[in-house]
Amino acid sequence: MPYVEGRVVHDADSHIFEPPGYAESYADPKMRDALAGALGRGEAGKFITSALAKQKDPEFRAKDAEEIMLRKNHVALGAMIREDRPSALDHLGFTSQLVFTTTYLAPLRKLDLGEDVELSYAMARAHNRGIVDFCSVDPRLLAVCYVPFTDIDRAAAMAGEAIELGAKALMIASNPPKQHSQSHVGFDRVWAQAEEAGRPILFHVGGEQPMNPVYKKNGLPPVPDFHGGDSNFTSVSYMAIPYAPMQTLATLIFDGVFDRFPELKFGAIELGASWLPGWMRSMDSAAGAFVKNEERLQRASLTPSEFVRRQLRVTPYPHEDAGWIIEHSGPEVAMFSSDYPHVEGGRNPMKRFEASLAGRSDDECERFFRANFEDLMGPALDGLEVAA
C-alpha cells in the first residue's frame, strides 16, 4: 500500500544523494581534474559504502514499502541508485517529483560566487548532465538543472543547453552574484527561453545568504542542528532563510521581469512560506508609497501581490500552518513537498499538512496537493500520465 492513496499528489521537493565524484564524472574531460581539485573529494566514506551495501541486502530490501518514509538520507530507497527510484515513487504514491541535488547544492553556489567563471559553468554543466541522467529512468522524475548567473552571456547559453538536455526546471541562486542583480535586463534571454519552453525558474534552500555567523557568538554552548552537528539550520539560522528570496523576488517584480514574461513561473522551494503573506503586503505597500517617483512602478500592469498569485508558487515546511498561509496569501500559491529523503522532511508530511489544512475548502486542498504544481510546471509535465 503506497504512502499516498486516493488523490493526485505532486511532490515539489525531493533529492538524490550523489556519491563523491558523481557529477565530476559527467564533466567535460578537460575540466575533471580542475573540478576534483576545487571540490576536494576523495573516496566514498564508510557511511556511503554501508548504505550501498544495505541496498543489496535482501532482508533490508524486503521492508522497502513499509519503511519508505522511515529510511532517510543515504539509506533511503532510490536516494543513490537511480534504478531504485521508480520503486520509491511507487511506494510513495506521488504522481511526480521535482528532483534536486544534495551533494552539489553548496559547491554549485560556492563556485557561482567564485572568481573562476569557467569552473563555475563546468560544474553546472556536469551537475546538469548527472541529474538528468539519474531522472531518465522514469518520466515522473523531473530533473532540476542549475544556471549560474555570474556571467550574463554564459547564463543565457547555459539555460538553453539545460533545456535542450532535458531539464524540467531551472534553478538559480536567490542570493545575487557579485556584479549584477538577477533582474538585469541581460537575463531577459534566460527568462525568454524558460518561458518559451514552459520551464519554471526555481529558488531552493542553499542558494540564499547564510546567517551572519557572529550571531552564534553568544557566550553559550553550541546548539545542535537536525543532524547533531552545527553545519545545518538551527532555530536562529532558520530565521534568515527567506531574506534573500524575498529581496530577489521583490526586485524581479519591481524591475518588471514578471510583467515582461507573464507566462513564466517561479518557485520558492524548501524556503518555507510563513513569510509569504507579510511579504506580499509589504510589496504592495512599497509600490503604493513609491509609485509617484518610480516609472517602473507606474508601468506595472498588476500589483506586486497579484504578480505573486499569478506567477509564484511556494512550498511551506510541514511544521508551518499551511492553512493560515493559504488564508492570508490566496489559494494559488502554496504547494505540497516532502523533501524526500531528507531528515528535515519528517516521517509523515501528509499527515501534518492535512491537519493544518483542516477547514480549508476542497478546492484549496486540491490546489495545494496538485493544481498549483501543475500550473507551475505547465508543459514540463507533457507526456506524464496524470489521473483525471
CA distance 329 to 288: 18
As a whole number, mean pLDDT of residues 337-362 equals: 96
Contact by Cβ (8 Å): 208, 243:
yes
Cβ-in-10-Å burial (0-12, 13-18, 19+) of 235 comes to exposed
- pLDDT, residue 224, reads 80
What are 146's strand-pairing partners? 171
CA distance 284 to 289: 9
Task: Using the predicted structure, report yes or no on whether residue 47 has a pLDDT greater than 80.
Answer: no
CA distance 12 to 376: 10
Q: Which residue has the cell 528535515?
A: 344
CA distance 53 to 47: 10
Contact by Cβ (8 Å): 134, 97:
no
| pLDDT 10s digits, 137-189 | 999 999 999 999 999 999 999 999 999 999 999 999 999 999 999 999 999 99
- pLDDT, residue 235, reads 87
Residue 219 CB contacts under 8 Å (≥ 6 apart), including other chains: none
As a whole number, mean pLDDT of residues 27-54 equals: 84
Q: Are strands 96-100 and 141-146 parallel, antiparallel or unpaired?
A: parallel
Work out the pLDDT band at 89, boundaries 50, 70, 90. Answer: very high
Question: How many Cα atoms within 13 Å fall on the side-chain side of residue 358?
Answer: 4
Task: Using the predicted structure, report yes or no on whether residue 228 has a pLDDT greater than 80.
Answer: no
Report the chain's mean pLDDT, rounded to a whole number: 94
- pLDDT, residue 229, reads 54
Task: Using the predicted structure, report yes or no on whether residue 294 has a pLDDT greater than 60.
Answer: yes
- pLDDT, residue 231, reads 62
Work out the pLDDT band at 234, boundaries 50, 70, 90. Answer: confident
What are 170's strand-pairing partners? 145, 201
- pLDDT, residue 99, reads 98
CA distance 320 to 130: 33
Please give the span between the terminal C-alpha atoms of the chain, in angstroms, as a whole number: 21
Full set of structural domains in the chain with CATH: 10-381 (3.20.20.140)
Task: Using the predicted structure, report yes or no on whether residue 338 has a pLDDT greater than 70.
Answer: yes
Percent of the chain with pLDDT over 90: 83
- pLDDT, residue 49, reads 86
Task: Using the predicted structure, report yes or no on whether residue 386 has a pLDDT greater than 90.
Answer: no
pTM of the model: 0.95
Distances, alpha carbon 72 to alpha carbons 76, 138, 206, 344, 347, in Å: 5, 21, 19, 9, 9
- pLDDT, residue 363, reads 98
Contact by Cβ (8 Å): 117, 150:
yes
As a whole number, mean pLDDT of residues 283-288 equals: 98
Cβ-in-10-Å burial (0-12, 13-18, 19+) of 53 comes to exposed
As a whole number, mean pLDDT of residues 221-244 equals: 79
